[in-house]
């Protein structure tokens, strides 16, 4: 029986959708990517709201099963397709626990300051961003990234094999570079240490990386 | 060979520590509970900072392996002790995905408004809490709890078996009652629907529930 490929709903440049995209490629799971437009209101349609009541991306529909929240999707992909592609979490129990801990820390502590930096510079297009808020968010972010760096011991966040921890952090750090390209002068890239720059290169060297690069960032 | 029991560091009334405590009991994993005092500065000692650089509870040390972040600890317990006690996540893949999604939603969307409610009423002991902030946080929380309720189909959050999703939410909702006991007049319990009250009773009926009840809440 021919299986219907999984449907993957994303928005170009959503770091949470990017995480799932990297995971889908890493797991070599066949999928149909559907790009939703934030501006066109694609996330507010009743059809999409039935899939994700939060009206956010990403979401997936796999064989009639709808799921949202990127962290839960990553775990589902591993659970549902254990034999497909490469594992999303380290196989050794302690390494897996550290990878999960860091992915959790990224969601709880790295997302808020990066979200503030993006909102203040990129999204709102404020003529006058809140300089003090930019400074404190930058400091918080620097402290969080340093903490993660302390745990790193290898090319990737946990050892020599890429994992969902890398897929969780990478799209967020990539946004710092994006801000510098779109709004020069903020020098957000100063927050990316030499060690993290090397790590970014390692992620960007993955064979499937280019396929997941946000389409509108190429334009 | 006699195994050293796992060490569980908690603070009385920390909802994140309570989650892990419920998980340890559910998994029937032998542990030594060490209560740390926030007021006495136990979390700031160099010994504890070496275990958890964030100086938060909970943390565990299991056979020399230190781990923090309650969500990561829960997954570690399941991974490291798959045969012990009862499973922390549903066995069926889709039910497990929904349970994980809800646990993630609790951490990302339920914690912030409850944290604000606690800070404004219980911790700061403000003479004049920010009434508007209390109102908006209450509304956000009500919306989030209603969304979770929509997904519930059984005695527990996912079906008829308790899971880590219940352990994630319960201690937070229990705090609403705690506020009403300590600071009568806010009527936080109004945020707990009849459906959720029934669910709380189900959690409280677990054979090991009483052992995990915050010691200083009894006083």
Q: Does the structure show a pLDDT above 80 at A3?
A: no
Contacts of B141 (CB under 8 A, 6+ apart): B110, B113, B114, B117, B191
Min Cα distance A128 → chain B (Å) is: 26
Beta carbons within 8 Å of A85's beta carbon, 6+ residues apart = A25, A26, A27, A28, A29
For residues A125-147, average pLDDT = 90
Q: Is the pLDDT of residue A124 over 80?
A: no
Percent of chain A with pLDDT over 70: 97
B95: closest CA of chain A, how far (Å): 10
With 90 as the cut, is the pLDDT of residue A129 above it? no
pLDDT at A153: 85
The vertex-B141 CA angle with B138 and B147, nearest 5°, equals: 145
Helix (H, G, I), strand (E, B), or coil: what is residue A143?
Answer: helix
User: CB B104 to CB A76 under 8 A?
Assistant: no
In tens digits, what is the pLDDT along chain B, a chain of 219 residues?
457 899 999 998 899 999 999 999 999 999 999 999 999 999 999 999 999 999 999 999 999 999 999 999 999 999 999 999 999 999 999 999 999 999 999 999 999 999 999 999 987 655 688 999 999 999 999 999 999 999 998 999 999 999 999 999 999 999 999 999 999 889 999 999 999 999 999 999 999 999 999 988 887
Predicted pLDDT of residue B125 = 59
Element at A77 (helix H, strand E)? helix A70-80
CA distance A25 to B215: 48
Q: Looking at the domain that runs over B6-80, which CATH code has it been given?
A: 3.40.30.10
Mean of pLDDT values over A177-202: 95
Span B93-211 CATH architecture: Up-down Bundle (1.20)
Domain covering A93-212: architecture: Up-down Bundle (1.20)
Mean pLDDT of A146-152: 95
Q: Nearest chain B Cα to A59, which residue?
A: B101
| Nearest residue, CB atoms, A101 vs list B68, B93, B108 | B68
Chain A residues whose CB is inside 8 A of the B49 CB are none
The pLDDT score that the predictor gives to residue B129 is: 85
Portions of chain B given CATH number 3.40.30.10: 6-80
Q: What are the beta bridge partners of residue A68?
A: A59
Query: Please, what is the average pLDDT of chain A?
Result: 94
CB contact under 8 A, B93 and A76: yes
Query: Would you list the DSSP string of B130-194?
Result: -HHHHHHHHHHHHHHHHHHHHH--SSBTTBTS--HHHHHHHHHHHHHHHHHHHSTTS-GGGGS-H
Question: Rounded mean pLDDT of A14-38?
Answer: 97
Please determine, for residue A48, whether its predicted confidence score (pLDDT) is greater than 80.
Answer: yes
pLDDT at position A127:
66
**How close A72 gets to chain B, by Cα (Å)?**
5
Distances (CA, A) of A119 to A122, A126, A219: 6, 9, 21
Taken in order A63, A65, A67, A70, is the CA torsion positive or negative? negative
Q: Which of A58, A82, A56 is nearest to A70 (CA)?
A: A58
User: Cβ contacts (< 8 Å) between A107 and chain B: which residues?
Assistant: 104, 107-108
pLDDT of residue B4: 85
């Amino acid at each position: 029986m021919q299986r219907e490929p999984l449907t993957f709903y994303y928005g170009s440049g959503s770091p949470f959708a990017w995480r799932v995209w990297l995971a889908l490629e890493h797991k070599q799971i066949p999928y149909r990517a559907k790009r939703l437009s934030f501006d066109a209101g694609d996330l507010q349609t009743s059809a999409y709201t039935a899939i994700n009541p939060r009206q956010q991306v990403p979401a997936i529909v796999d064989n009639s099963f709808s799921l949202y929240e990127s962290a839960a999707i990553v775990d589902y992909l591993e659970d549902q397709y254990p034999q497909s592609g490469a594992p999303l979490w380290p196989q050794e129990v302690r390494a897996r626990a550290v990878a999960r801990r860091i992915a959790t820390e990224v969601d709880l502590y790295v997302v808020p300051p990066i979200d503030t930096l993006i909102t203040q510079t990129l999204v709102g297009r404020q003529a006058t961003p809140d300089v003090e808020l930019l400074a404190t968010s930058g400091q918080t972010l620097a402290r969080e990234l340093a903490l993660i760096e302390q745990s790193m011991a290898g090319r990737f966040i946990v050892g020599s094999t890429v994992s969902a921890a890398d897929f969780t952090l990478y799209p967020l750090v990539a946004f710092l570079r994006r801000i510098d390209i779109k709004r020069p002068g903020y020098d957000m890239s100063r927050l990316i240490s030499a060690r993290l720059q090397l790590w970014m290169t390692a992620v960007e060297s993955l064979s499937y990386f280019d396929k997941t690069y946000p389409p509108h960032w190429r334009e």
